Chain A
Amino acid sequence: MKPLTLLLFLLCLPGPARAQVLEVCASCPLPTVAAGLEQAAPYDTVWVRSGVYRESGLRIEKPLTLMGEAGAVIDGEHQGEIMQVASDSVSVLGLHLRNVGVSYTQDHAALRVIKSKYFRLENLKLEGLFFGIYLEKSSQGQVCNNQILGDAKEEFNSGNGIQLWYCQDVEVSGNTVHRVRDGIYLEFSDRIQIAGNISSGNVRYGLHFMFSNHDTYTNNLFEDNGAGVAVMFSKDIEMVGNTFRKNWGTASFGLLLKEINDARIAGNRFEENTVGISIEGSNRIEYLNNDFRANGWAIKVRGACYTNLFSGNNFMHNSFDVSYNSKVNDNRFEGNYWSAYSGYDLDRNGYGDVPHRPVKLFSYIVNRTPETLVLLRSPFMDLIDFSERVSPVFTPDNLLDPEPLIRPRP
């Protein structure tokens, strides 16, 4: 008897086991994606065959999977938003969405997810953008391996690649975002995992945090963005193993921290940025084992930064390693490697025997009179820096690394 009841029970079950696949193609009974979505029952799969579908304003209001064959393109023809997801458990996979309408009053997105859970957006390709993927008040979803290629030129008439607004527990990984306003933008979004994305050539920030707490971003690459990466007004952020490269310009940073508390920044690489990390009003942050290589300023401390720890970092050939604009220092520098260190290690324990003072007097002069920058690496400046290092007058005298590493940490 027992197997029979089980069979009966299984037959009564709705759901994926009984789900249908609906095919959409130009010569099919369902010639448009809209018709496919209309006809589909919950938990069905809508299979979009290769071809160009000139549709916009699509809306998914039931749990289903929308899959595109290679070459399946939905062209919004600049008519507002292309697709909205307003149901839980929706997957959108492998589609190519293009030509979102640009508006100065509404944030049109290629794909918007509204108040839904368990969504999956994967292998999408978005082109001709205003906003790309816009998640609002959604949670427990995944945004993976998408390609977002914008053509933004100015900040005011472009949108963000991936935007999260009031979202929780979302995974954003393996995406490539290029030439939009902000590559990835988080506002009021908590516990977001951002991993392995490439965000480059964006008009403003590669990654932008606002009022978002307990987020993690790991192993991302941020390159050649207008202003680098900005993390603002957020708590408890983990930043591990990311690479920040070639963010050049007067207001450009590898990483900008503003009002960030209790964060951990470890194992990142900062290469050839105008400013590696610019820190303002950020407390209790641990900077561990990062590499700063050939930046203009590796670390620029702008004030109100207390109880931060810098340890095990490599400072290699930066024009300025650390710059301060005040005489007060409450931050600790311990066991970093400084390529500018000129001390010795007589007891051969791997740590230098004399402390290193990373702040040059010249960086103060440049703060005060920026034009003096043309005197960078002038022998006269080296002379002044040397005398300041011997007896500090202008720089905080407790700002030193008591035991600098003799060899760079590998």
Chain B
Amino acid sequence: MFKIVRYSFQDLLRSRWSYVYFAFYLLLGFVMLFLNHDLAKGVITLMNVIIILVPLIATIFGVMYYYSSREFTALLLAQPIRRSRIFLGQYLGVAGSLSLSLVLGLGLPFVLYGLFRSPAIWDFVLLLVTGVFLNLIFTALAFLVALSNDNRIKGFGYAVLLWLFLAVVYDGIFLLSLILFEEYPLDSFALGATLLNPIDLSRTLILLKLDISALLGYTGAVFKAFFGTSLGMLVSLGVLGLWTAAPVAALVRKARHKDF
């Protein structure tokens, strides 16, 4: 399996896409810190980038990689290697290289601007951790979509739709339902709906660090237990873990039964 991970990884390095991705984050980090020297503010701006762009790039990258390496996959399938190993290997190669670009690309500028001497370091680390999680989740989802659709155009379409739904549309429906049912006690529902979307979940995780003073302004025992204690952080991280495991498991299952 590690051979396949290594191969996918090197393949991506050769294709220069990881470098582009890395350079993009590097530029983003430097420009942002150049425009305002405040690390704390940089972290907030970065959050917006991470919860929108990281899933998008992971989705597109994942689908693209799967389709372009289909012949090679077919070749591997002819070898005496277990299917789960092949697909897991490719998946980890892509997700790993994306995560590495993200961590290095954003990490370098912040370290150069004195991250280690700044109190924002834990916020930043949390941001990178959620970024890596989002990479893992959305690459897995992209592989899953691509695996289910042999038609490239369809596969691309579904994957981008999935991203659009989770990143923007979901929140719109969420907001509407909160306003429509405002007469009912909604705090459990609001927290539940947050947990069901990995992008919302990552946002909440970062809010716990950045906007805790606002979040505690809401009068509700459930909110208070969730946001006011370390429970919120633990539950969010745990569910993010589940969100990573579930599509990967589905991916392995799908790969095992697929007729190539």
Closest to B44 in A: A317
Q: How large is the interface on A (under 10, 10 to 19, 20 to 34, 35 or more residues)?
A: 35 or more
Partner of B52, one of A251, A273, A376, A379: A379
What separation, in Å, do the CA atoms of A320 and B211 have in the docked complex? 10
CB-CB under 8 A for A379 and B48, given A273-B213, A275-B217, A297-B217: yes
A319 engages B214 (CB within 8 Å): yes
Within 8 A of A (CB), among B164-187: 167-168, 171-172, 174-175, 178-179, 182, 186-187
A368 to B41, CA, bound (A): 29
B218 touches A250 (CB 8 A): yes
CB of B178 within 8 A of CB of A369, answer yes
| Cβ contacts under 8 Å, A252 to chain B | 216
Q: Is A375 part of the contact surface with B, judged by Cβ < 8 Å? A: yes
Q: Does B178 lie within 8 Å of A377, measured CB to CB?
A: no
Shortest Cβ distance from B191 into A: residue? A374
| Residues in chain B near residue A375, CB distance under 8 A | 171, 174-175, 178, 200
CB distance A379 to B182 under 8 Å?
Answer: no
Main secondary structure on chain B at its contact with chain A?
Answer: helix
Shortest Cβ distance from B167 into A: residue: A379
Which chain A residues border B171 with CB–CB below 8 Å? 375, 378-381
Q: Is A7 an interface residue (CB 8 A)?
A: no
Do A372 and B214 contact each other (CB < 8 Å), given the known contacts A377-B203, A378-B203?
no
Chain B neighbourhood of A274, CB < 8 A: 213-214, 216-217
CB distance from A363 to the nearest CB of B (A): 10
Quick one: which of B40, B204, B211, B224 has the most chain A CB within 10 A?
A: B211
Q: Are B213 and A294 in contact (CB under 8 A)?
A: yes
B237 within 8 A of A: no
Interface centre among A249, A371, A376 (most CB of B within 10 A): A371
Q: Is the CB of B41 within 8 A of A372?
A: no
A296 touches B175 (CB 8 A): no
Chain A residues whose CB sits within 8 angstroms of the CB of B191 once the complex forms: 374
A contact residues vs B (CB 8 Å cutoff): 246, 248-252, 272-275, 294-297, 316-317, 319-320, 339, 365, 368-383
Residue ranges of B at the interface with A (Cβ–Cβ < 8 Å): 40-41, 44, 47-48, 51-52, 167-168, 171-172, 174-175, 178-179, 182, 186-187, 189-191, 194, 200, 203-204, 206-207, 210-220, 223-224
Known pairs A372-B178, A377-B47 / 16 extra A-B pairs, C-beta < 8 Å: A249-B217, A250-B224, A274-B217, A296-B211, A297-B217, A320-B214, A369-B178, A370-B220, A371-B182, A372-B190, A375-B200, A377-B203, A378-B171, A379-B168, A381-B171, A381-B175
